[in-house]
C-alpha cells in the first residue's frame, strides 16, 4: 500500500529525521500561548478541595461510556475546573537545561512537551456565560476569546452538524501547537501529538464519569472550518481532537 497514511508512517521513522531545533540550540517554544492583555480573565476554583462523587478508579473505568445525550442541568464551575485539571492540569514546573521551564501535568506527553492548548465552547456551565474560552493551564484560569452565545451553533456546524453536541455543557477543542513538539522530535513529533491526544481524551472520559457526567470524543469535523473559527492557521496550530461533556440524563 502507498497511501498517505503509509507515507506518513514511513517518513516519520527515525532514519528520516534530521537535526532537531533542540539539538541546534534553538530556544524552546513558550509553554503557553499569550493571552490578550485586554481579554477578560476568569479565576477557576481550586481543585484542592474538590471531591468527585465517585473516586473509585475501578468503578469509573467500568462505567465509562461515550455519552451523546445530556440533561438540561448545568455543570458547576468547580466541576469544569476539575475536568480541565484532569486533562491538562499543571502539577509541577521544573527548569529546563536550555533555559526556561517545562511543566509536568496530569497527563503524559512525549518528552514533557505538552503541545496542546485547550479551547472551550461553553453551553451550560453555571456562572459562566456561553461563548468561546481558552484554558490557561499554568495559571489555572480561563481567558474569554469570543463572548458570543451564537458561537456554539457555528462550531457544531463545522463538526459536520452533529447537533446533539449543542446539548452538552461544554465542548473541548484541543489545539496542537506543533513547534512545541517538533522542536525536539522534528516530523516524528506529529506521531507523538496523536498519542498525547489519546491520553487527554481518556482523562476527560474518566474525570467526567467521576462526577456522574458523560463525555464523548469526536474526530468527525471539518478541519479547515474549525481551525478558521478558532483563528488558527491549520499548519502551525490546528485542532487535533474534540470532546463533549455534560450531565447525564435521568
pLDDT digits (tens, 9 = 90+) for 196-213: 999 999 999 999 999 999
**What is the tens place of the pLDDT at every residue in 20-53?**
999 999 999 999 999 999 999 999 999 998 999 9
Residue 99 pLDDT greater than 70, yes or no:
no
Cβ atoms of 107 and 115 within 8 Å: the answer is: no
Instruction: Say whether pTM exceeds 0.85.
Output: yes
Tally the C-alpha atoms within 13 A of residue 59's C-alpha that lie toward its C-beta.
11
From the list 131, 130, 135, the residue with the least C-alpha distance to 106 is 135
Q: What is the maximal distance between C-alpha atoms in the chain?
A: 57
Grid cell 532537531 — which residue?
A: 20
Return the closest-CA partner of residue 190 out of 156, 119, 240, 146.
240
Pick the closest to residue 204 from 39, 228, 149, 196 (CA basis): 196
Helix, strand, or coil (residue 173): strand
Domains of the chain by residue range: 59-247
Confidence of residue 94 (pLDDT cuts 50, 70, 90): confident
CA distance 108 to 192: 11
pLDDT tens digit string along 56-81? 999 999 999 999 999 999 999 999 99
Q: Is the pLDDT of residue 100 over 90?
A: no
Please determine, looking at this structure, whether the domain spanning 59-247 carries the CATH number 3.40.109.10: yes
pLDDT digits 0-9 by tens, 116-168? 999 999 999 999 999 999 999 999 999 999 999 999 999 999 999 999 999 99
Amino acid at each position: 500500500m502507498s497511501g498517505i497514511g503509509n507515507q506518513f508512517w514511513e517518513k516519520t521513522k527515525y532514519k528520516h529525521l534530521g537535526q532537531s531545533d533542540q539539538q541546534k540550540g534553538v530556544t524552546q517554544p513558550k509553554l503557553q500561548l499569550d493571552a490578550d492583555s485586554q481579554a477578560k480573565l476568569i479565576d477557576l476554583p481550586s481543585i484542592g478541595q474538590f471531591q468527585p462523587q465517585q473516586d473509585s478508579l475501578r468503578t469509573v473505568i467500568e462505567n465509562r461510556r461515550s455519552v451523546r445525550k445530556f440533561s438540561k442541568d448545568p455543570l458547576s464551575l468547580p466541576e469544569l475546573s476539575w475536568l480541565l485539571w484532569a486533562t491538562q492540569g499543571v502539577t509541577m514546573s521544573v527548569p529546563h537545561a536550555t533555559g526556561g521551564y517545562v511543566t509536568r501535568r496530569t497527563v503524559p506527553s512525549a518528552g514533557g512537551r505538552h503541545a496542546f492548548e485547550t479551547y472551550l465552547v461553553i453551553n451550560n456551565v453555571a456562572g459562566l456565560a456561553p461563548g468561546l474560552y481558552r484554558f490557561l493551564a499554568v495559571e489555572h484560569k480561563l481567558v474569554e476569546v469570543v463572548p458570543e452565545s451564537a458561537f456554539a451553533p457555528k462550531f457544531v456546524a463545522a463538526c459536520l452538524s452533529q447537533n446533539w453536541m449543542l446539548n452538552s455543557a461544554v465542548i473541548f477543542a484541543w489545539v496542537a501547537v506543533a513547534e512545541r513538539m517538533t522542536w525536539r522530535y522534528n516530523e516524528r513529533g506529529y506521531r507523538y501529538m496523536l498519542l498525547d491526544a489519546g491520553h487527554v481524551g481518556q482523562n476527560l472520559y474518566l474525570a467526567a464519569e467521576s462526577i456522574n457526567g458523560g463525555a464523548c470524543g469526536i474526530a468527525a469535523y471539518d478541519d479547515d472550518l474549525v481551525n478558521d473559527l478558532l483563528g488558527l492557521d491549520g499548519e502551525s496550530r490546528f485542532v487535533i481532537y474534540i470532546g463533549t461533556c455534560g450531565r447525564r440524563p435521568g
